[in-house]
């Protein structure tokens, strides 16, 4: 298991532990206050506990090396975990909305607000810091599951802050409907966040092209282009957990032998792996250039078989590098 996977799992263990402690504190705050807003906040924390354990399991599984049954590794389990978390967030928002509407019809007295406010304010601070740690570590080590956990924790923070504001207003005014009104607003925000997580994971599970990642890669390759890389085309890249998978066709001089072509393939993979700081699995097919058509974009000045002058370097774009047109030359 590599260092990145170990770091992700260590953070997720703290998420599980903190989620259990914070859930207990929120339940305590509810019994002290009888506030429906605090009750809904506690209900959302049950999602934190469940998804904390689910996320931990998925990170452990995703860190396992590829095997005969999983030749591409186990990284997609993170997407399944994140989608499960997004669904639970969405359901939690619906429950909160339902409880809030019920409380508008059947109001009850809220008490010991000061104690309740202090307890859930502490949980909000811990949730935000823990969420920031998850998102930062998840981005560093390319873990969608850990980033989803962090976003969930931070969305929990904002809903808790809204509840605190509502409780302060309730304490000042005595208007009982404020308790439910604030809970409904943040229930909707929670549902939106859950929907975003589900959308992201569906994109990953269906191998949807990541245009942002592709543009970063194209910018890198245009900057680090070697003279023997006459062209790249039919390029595809996807991420499974902490591993990137690259498929492409690399055009090299037609007279290169197998070893010389392999050197260029290795250089291409190393350039990408170093820049993105993560494991790369690449499947690169080499094509020989086609004189004189390729000569116009080939910068090799000492080519003894050149049949046409060099005109301009081929600038790779999202259109020509992903198309299956050989050399990407009109």
Taking 90 as the threshold, does the pLDDT of residue 262 lie above it? Answer: yes
Confidence category of residue 249, pLDDT binned at 50, 70, 90: very high
Mean pLDDT of 269-290: 84
Peptide bond preceding 292 in cis form (omega within 30 of 0): yes
State what percent of residues in the chain have pLDDT above 90. Answer: 8
State what percent of residues in the chain have pLDDT above 70. Answer: 84
The Cα 82–Cα 204 span in angstroms is: 10
Domains of the chain: 3-205 (1.20.1510.10), 211-328 (3.30.70.1350)
pLDDT tens-place string over residues 180-233 = 777 777 778 778 877 887 877 776 666 556 778 888 889 999 999 998 998 888
Q: Which two tokens stand for residue 188?
A: 């909707």
Taking 80 as the threshold, does the pLDDT of residue 22 lie above it? Answer: yes
**Range with the poorest average pLDDT among 204-213, 262-271, 315-324:** 204-213
Taking 70 as the threshold, does the pLDDT of residue 242 lie above it? Answer: no
Cα–chain center distance at 317:
25
Average pLDDT, the chain: 79
pLDDT tens-place string over residues 27-61 = 898 888 877 777 777 877 777 777 777 767 766 76
Taking 80 as the threshold, does the pLDDT of residue 76 lie above it? Answer: no
The Cα 131–Cα 159 span in angstroms is: 14
Mean pLDDT of 252-264: 92
Instruction: Look up the pTM and report it.
Output: 0.56
Q: What is the pLDDT of residue 92?
A: 76
Task: Tell me the three state secondary structure of residue 173.
Answer: helix
Pairing of strands 279-288, 243-252: parallel
* Cβ contact 294:329 at 8 Å: yes
Which residues, at least 6 apart from 175, have a Cβ–Cβ distance to it below 8 Å? 169
Torsion of CA 69, 72, 75, 79, to 10 degrees: -90
Indicate the DSSP class of residue 66.
Answer: P
């Amino acid at each position: 298991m590599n260092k990145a996977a170990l770091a992700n799992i260590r953070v997720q263990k703290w998420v599980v532990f903190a989620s259990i402690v914070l859930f207990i504190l929120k339940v305590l705050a509810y019994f002290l206050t009888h506030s429906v807003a605090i009750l809904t906040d506690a209900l959302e924390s049950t999602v934190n506990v469940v998804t904390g354990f689910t996320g931990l399991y998925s990170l452990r599984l995703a860190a396992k090396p590829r095997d005969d049954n999983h030749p591409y590794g186990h990284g997609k389990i993170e997407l399944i975990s994140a989608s499960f978390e997004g669904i639970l967030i969405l359901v939690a928002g619906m429950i909160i909305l339902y409880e809030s509407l019920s409380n508008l019809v059947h109001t009850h007295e809220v008490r010991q607000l000061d104690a309740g406010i202090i307890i859930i304010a502490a949980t909000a601070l811990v949730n935000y810091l823990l969420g920031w740690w998850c998102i930062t570590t998840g981005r560093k080590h390319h873990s969608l599951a850990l980033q989803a956990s962090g976003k969930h924790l931070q969305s929990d923070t904002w809903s808790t802050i809204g509840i605190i504001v509502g409780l302060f207003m309730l304490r000042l005014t005595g208007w009982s409907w404020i308790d439910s009104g604030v809970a409904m607003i943040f229930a909707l925000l929670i549902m939106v966040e859950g929907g975003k997580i589900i959308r992201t994971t569906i994109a990953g599970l269906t191998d949807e092209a990541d245009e942002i990642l592709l543009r970063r890669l194209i910018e890198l390759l245009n900057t680090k282009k070697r003279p023997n890389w006459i062209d790249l085309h039919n390029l595809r890249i996807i991420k499974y957990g902490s591993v990137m998978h690259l498929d492409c066709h690399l055009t090299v001089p037609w007279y290169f032998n197998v070893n010389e072509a392999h050197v260029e393939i290795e250089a291409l993979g190393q350039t990408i792996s170093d820049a993105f700081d993560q494991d790369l699995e690449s499947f690169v097919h080499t094509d020989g250039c086609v004189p004189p058509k390729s000569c116009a974009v080939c910068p090799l000045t000492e080519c003894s078989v050149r049949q046409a002058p060099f005109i301009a370097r081929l600038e790779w774009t999202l259109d020509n590098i992903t198309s299956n047109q050989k050399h990407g030359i009109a």
